[in-house]
Amino acid sequence: MSKTRLLALQLERAEQQLMLFQKISRLLVRESPLQDTLQEIVGLIVGFMDCDSCLIYLACNGQLVLCASNHPHSDAIGDVRLQLGEGLTGWVARERRLLAISCEAYQDPRFKSFSGLPEDSYEAFLSAPIIAHNRILGVINVQHRQTHQHTGSEMEMLTTVGEQIGCLLLLAQMEPEAAEFASHTSAVLSPAARS
Amino acid sequence: MSKTRLLALQLERAEQQLMLFQKISRLLVRESPLQDTLQEIVGLIVGFMDCDSCLIYLACNGQLVLCASNHPHSDAIGDVRLQLGEGLTGWVARERRLLAISCEAYQDPRFKSFSGLPEDSYEAFLSAPIIAHNRILGVINVQHRQTHQHTGSEMEMLTTVGEQIGCLLLLAQMEPEAAEFASHTSAVLSPAARS
């Protein structure tokens, strides 16, 4: 491939990634039902990654519960639950670390088949923790049926998306009237803050 | 300039912008004093835009109060206040729209000099509302001393940064213990949400 052609492809990819971040940012400031926003993010990720599966698990009482999927009407949503530390997804939640496996994810010693999801037989697995204010709130998984070498940029992307979903989850908890104006300036301009 | 050289420059710029978003995202999930985070964002914007000034105003009781600046120890912080709708910055807050002026910003009919800030004499002005949950929480301004043609990508970038700061402001209001796990899954998986 010529250098020019390669640069053009890299530029196109970088611009797609910028657009992805901008679209997710726009979702964050909108007031929509959380379920809809998570599904929209899943759709954006599938479009960007050209993957076969994107799943979002949310933490609940020490478990991870499947809450969004690119198969949104799947019975698995709400039903697939795993313990923190269980399987690849649970490992990501417990360790709060990104995990990228390019092939034979099901052969990884941390792998555990328990969900009955078809994704259990997929080759490539990329997973990032959903974290906000230093708390683990969930995990987002991207899976390819076939082998897929994840680029550094894809790993960075999913890390950032995990952070953005973390913000989204916290924001979804706030009452609309919480957006009071005075408290921001006082937090910034108080003598303690300015010292 | 050769096509290859142009593509290489565009790619470099897109990658810088991706890095900017990733850094801001990381600031959002950290728990730091709001003042520090706003100053860090100002620093990142100045680095990316190569501008002479970056100011953040926050809304407070119907006024906009200067809360962060690339001259962080300026006496103007906390002192410069303007009404919603007053001057270029006030216009952005009232209209909730991006404003880009490439030269002679001080000749714009909406311009009003009242702050005593040196920025009042700068040529180029780019300003985005800080919005979250459909509320105007402030304005972020980027100014160049000399004429500067803002690119579409710069405008998109500042719009997104305005949204991200909006999220940051809301998150800064939350108590740390607000990151309860159970409420997220229940919000997503309740029968009403799934219908």
Contact criterion met (CB < 8 Å) for A167 and B166: no
Residue predicted with more confidence, B175 or A50:
A50
pLDDT of residue B72: 72
For residue range A134-181, list pLDDT tens digits in order. Answer: 889 999 999 999 999 999 999 999 999 999 999 999 988 876 665 554
pLDDT of residue B71: 86
Contact criterion met (CB < 8 Å) for A153 and B18: yes
Contact criterion met (CB < 8 Å) for B173 and A184: yes
If you average pLDDT over every residue of chain B, what do you get?
89
Pick A67's closest partner by Cβ from B11, B153, B185. B185
pLDDT, average across residues A124-137: 93
**Which residue on chain A is closest to B64 by alpha carbon?**
A185
How far does B107 lie from chain A, in Å, by closest CA? 30
pLDDT of residue A182: 40
For residue range B12-62, list pLDDT tens digits in order. Answer: 999 999 999 999 999 998 888 999 999 999 999 999 999 999 999 999 888
How far does B150 lie from chain A, in Å, by closest CA? 17
Pick A29's closest partner by Cβ from B25, B133, B174. B133
**Least confident interval from A6-15, A42-51, B138-147, B183-192:** B183-192
If you average pLDDT over every residue of chain A, what do you get?
89
pLDDT, average across residues B180-189: 61
pLDDT(A12) > 70: yes
How far does A94 lie from chain B, in Å, by closest CA? 15
Pick A29's closest partner by Cβ from B38, B166, B172. B166
pLDDT(B78) > 90: no
pLDDT(B181) > 50: no
pLDDT(A115) > 60: yes
Contact criterion met (CB < 8 Å) for A160 and B22: yes
Name the percent of chain A lying above pLDDT 70: 88
pLDDT(B191) > 60: no
**C-alpha–C-alpha distance, residues B14 and A102, integer Å:** 26
Contact criterion met (CB < 8 Å) for B163 and A68: no
**Which residue on chain B is closest to A184 by alpha carbon?**
B169
**Which residue on chain A is closest to B23 by alpha carbon?**
A160
Site from A29, A40, A167 to mutate, B interface, most B CB atoms within 10 angstroms:
A29
pLDDT(B107) > 70: yes
Pick A185's closest partner by Cβ from B67, B167, B173. B67
Element (H, E) at B68: strand B63-69
pLDDT of residue A128: 98
Q: pLDDT confidence of B75, banded at 50, 70, 90?
A: confident
Q: Count of A–B CB contacts within 8 Å?
A: 207
Residues of chain B with C-beta less than 8 angstroms from the C-beta of A83: none
